[in-house]
Amino acid sequence: PLAASLATLSSGHSAAEPAAHPAKKRVHALSLSVPPSLSKDFSGWLPSFTSKLIELPGFLGAKLLQPAAAPEDVPAVVFVLGGPGAGKGTQCARIVEEHGYVHLSAGDLLRAERASGSDQGQMIDEYIREGKIVPVEVTVKLLLDAIRADGGKRFLIDGFPRNTNNLSGWQQQASNDFRVAGVLVFDCPEEVMEERLLERGKTSGRTDDNVDSIRKRFKTFKDETMPVLKYYEHQGLVTSIDGTRSPDEVWADTTAFIDGLEASLQAGGEVVFTMHVYSTEHEKPYVADVGSRVAEEVRARWGDAVKVECSSFKVEQSLKPFGIDAIRAFDQ
């Protein structure tokens, strides 16, 4: 029953609202953890429940995603975030060397594709030369193509998602096939990162390793990426590591994180159903707290067997893309 309802559901009463107000929408991302013994019955109940929920005033629609398969069958992705100069590159290199993960950078993939001369690379180049922004769908496709081409099961993706619209793009294009197993954040004060980048700039040859560019990159990271971290914090996926220490000291915490992650991935457990509910920002919501409302309904039907978690974030413009220059804000 669930597979038949994976297409986005629309609420009949509010179908015209997105066109009238395209820039204001709130996404409620819900994860429902179900014991394997109940998953078949739950998958039959969830679509009808969702259809009734979005008929309430203020809802625009919903999307049901395929339930997560057993962890060993799904490639696991770790997003690696942190300000420029926080040490992401050093730690990612050691994870690759000692734990066998594959390291992917959205910025590197865009630049490589642009230089390749392919049809897609020419399209990216045209966007850049004309001063336009590269659609986030393109970046997500490059990441997914790289993951599928490699065929592995463990991936580090650094500097992505950069903002909530990138997050929305990933959720729409990738969340059925890949599991976000964790978000690793290297926390470092701006003054420390600035000192590191200025020192690196003496030999790197990078034009953006100067004070003005560095501080703009800090601001971009703070303004754009912190909401993404808040979203994943609500899901209990964020691990923050003090990046001010020596590389070896930071590595001790990094490798402990990977060891713990591997243990949890091997353990298996509950089947996780994901649903995205979309509501308008233009009127007082009929349902003030979507997460609590869903949890109440689920508890009434399934008792305490099903666990519900909810995170909400506003999307200013669906799948807002980002410019190639902005990628520098998240580079090492």
Q: What is the pLDDT of residues 29-56, one digit of tens each?
A: 999 988 877 888 999 999 999 999 999 9
Confidence of residue 21 (pLDDT cuts 50, 70, 90): very low
CA distance 141 to 52: 33
Lookup: tokens for 22:
């395209």
Enumerate residues 6+ apart whose C-beta is below 8 A from 84.
193, 197, 214, 217, 218, 221, 328, 329, 330, 331, 332
Give pLDDT, residue 17.
Answer: 40
Taking all residues of the chain, what is their mean pLDDT, rounded to a whole number?
81
Please give the residue that has the higher pLDDT: either 214 or 27. 27
- pLDDT tens digits along 171-221: 888 877 888 999 999 988 778 877 878 877 776 666 555 777 777 777 877
Write the CB contacts of 57 (distance below 8 Å, at least 6 apart in sequence): 13, 14, 283, 286
Tens of pLDDT, residues 61-102:
999 887 765 555 678 999 999 877 778 888 999 999 999 999
Do 124 and 134 contact (CB within 8 A), yes or no?
yes
pLDDT computed for residue 46 by the predictor: 94
| Nearest-angstrom CA–CA distance, 281 and 60 | 10
Confidence of residue 4 (pLDDT cuts 50, 70, 90): very low
Residue 269 has pLDDT above 70, yes or no: no
How much is the average pLDDT of 15-29?
Answer: 61
Q: Which of 331, 106, 332, 87 is nearest to 186 (CA)?
A: 87
Contact status, residue 116 vs residue 142, Cβ threshold 8 Å: no
pLDDT of the residue at 303: 92
Phi, psi dihedrals of residue 181, rounded to the nearest 5°? -85, -20
Q: Rounded mean pLDDT of 283-289?
A: 76
In the CATH scheme, what is the code of domain 3-69+270-315? Answer: 3.30.70.100
* Domain spanning 71-105+153-268: CATH superfamily: P-loop containing nucleotide triphosphate hydrolases (3.40.50.300)
Where are the domain boundaries for CATH 3.30.70.100 in the chain?
A: 3-69+270-315
pTM for the model: 0.61
Share of the chain above pLDDT 90, in %: 34
Alpha-helix runs per DSSP H in 73-118: 88-99, 106-116
Pinpoint the residues of the chain covered by CATH 3.40.50.300. 71-105+153-268
Which of 11-20, 104-113, 309-318 tops mean pLDDT?
Answer: 104-113
Q: Residue 330's pLDDT is what? A: 39
Q: What is the pLDDT of residue 325?
A: 42
> If you ran DSSP here, which 8-state letter would residue 326 be given?
G
Alpha-carbon gap, residue 222 to 66, rounded angstroms: 33
Contact 178, 75 (CB under 8 A): yes
Burial (0-12, 13-18, 19+ Cβ within 10 Å), 193: buried
Q: Where are the alpha helices (DSSP H) in 117-163?
A: 119-129, 136-150
Euclidean distance between CA atoms 13 and 55, whole angstroms = 7
First to last CA, the chain: 46
Looking up tokens 């560019």 gives 213
